[in-house]
Amino acid sequence: MTDLLALDDVHVYYGPFHALRGNTLTVGEGEIVSLLGGNASGKSTTMKTILGLIKVKSGSVRFAGEDVTNASTRHRVKAGIASVPEARRVFPQMTVDENLLAGAYTRKDRVGIAEDLERMREHFPRLGERRRQEAGTLSGGEQQMLAFARALMSRPKLICMDEPTMGLAPKLVDQVLDEIVRINKDLGVAVLFVEQQAELALSIASRGYVLATGEIVLNGTSRELLDNPQIQEAYLGKATQA
């Protein structure tokens, strides 16, 4: 599998605060990778770094064979990185359709955009029903679907999702995870997502990275991580047998 996204020895600072400490991370084409870690471990910072919202101090970010370390967010979106921001952040006073069009902002092919709009309405029937409704009036689960669809409108190769299950009821969490798998399978889009619940995350991801205080302390396939006693202790609530 070739690497679609590759972070190599990335260091990021907030003023004097060393937020990412030499992290190396890859996502292959069509892969689902999860990013785990506690509060303030650097998960969101990693996502923002990939999207170009934060400047990298040293190290490199490559995407689809291109060095995008210093590229603008706009450039990265055009290259094929889409985002499902933390807490969804749909545009509340714009209609569902307008939100989807905002996702396609970087594209110029009118015909293709219209086709994709139609495809999203098929893929997410609820959004089709509510196309003229303001996004702020949708339920949390519907807003999450809209955030997915909006990201897909840029025809991405990779979607970065920052805690897509945040604030959703347990039943909806399962739906959202199913949806991630569906997007990945049906559309062949790679997914890198942040998730608090390690077991759930690893149930759909092929690989995972564990962050702690800005460093990647563990990585491996989902199976390896699930069997790792440290992970079991820290995230799965299973005490290690002494």
Partner 1 sequence: MLNTLIDGLLRGNVYALGAVGISLVFGVMNVVNFAQFSFFGLGAMLAWFFVAQEGLPFWLALPLVLAICAALGLVINISVVRPLAKFLPLAAMLSTYAVSQILDNVSQIAFGAQFRVFPKVMPTSNLHIGNMRFGTSDVVMLAITAVVMVVMSLFLKFGKIGRAIRATAQDQEAALQMGIPVGQVQHVSFVIASTLGGLAGVFIALYVGVANPTSGLDIGLTAFVAATLGGLGSLVGGVIGGFVLGILEAFGIYFFGDTSREIIIFVILIVVLILRPGGLLGKVPLISTEPLTGTFLGKGRPLRIPRWVWPAAFVVGGIVIPLVANDYVLTTGTQVLIYAVIAAGFTVTAGQSGVLALGQAGPIAIGAYTSALVTMNLHFSFWAALPVAGLSAAIIASVLASPIWGVKGHYISIATLGLGIAIVAIIQLVEPQGIYNIPVPQWFGAVLSTPVAYYLIDFGVLVVTLLVMWRIRRSHLGKVISSVGSDEVAALASGVRGRNYKALAFAISAFFAGVGGSLLAHQYTYIDPTIFTMLMSLLVVTIVIMGGVSLPYGAVVGSIILIGAMELLRFTPELRIIVYGLVLILVVRFRPGGILVRNS
According to DSSP, the residues that pair with 20 across neighbouring strands are: 12
Q: What does the alpha-carbon distance between residue 126 and residue 229 come to, in Å, rounded to a whole number?
A: 42
Q: Nearest approach, Cβ of 160 to partner 1 (angstroms)?
A: 9
Closest among 12, 107, 26, 20 to 65, alpha carbons compared? 26
- In whole angstroms, the minimum distance from the beta carbon of 103 to partner 1 comes to 6
Nearer to partner 1 among residue 81 and residue 216 (C-beta)? 81
Nearer to partner 1, 103 or 208 (CB): 103
CB of 1 to partner 1, least distance (A): 26
CA 87 to mean position of chain CA atoms = 12
Q: Is 133 exposed, middle or buried (0-12, 13-18, 19+ CB in 10 A)?
A: middle
* Closer CB to partner 1, 159 or 183, in the complex: 159
Interaction site with partner 1 (CB under 8 A): 51, 53, 73-74, 76-78, 83, 85, 89-94, 98, 101-103, 105-106, 150, 154
- Write down the least CB distance from residue 152 to partner 1, Å: 12
Nearest to 164 by CA among 99, 85, 80, 48: 85
Nearer to partner 1 (CB atom), residue 98 or residue 174: 98
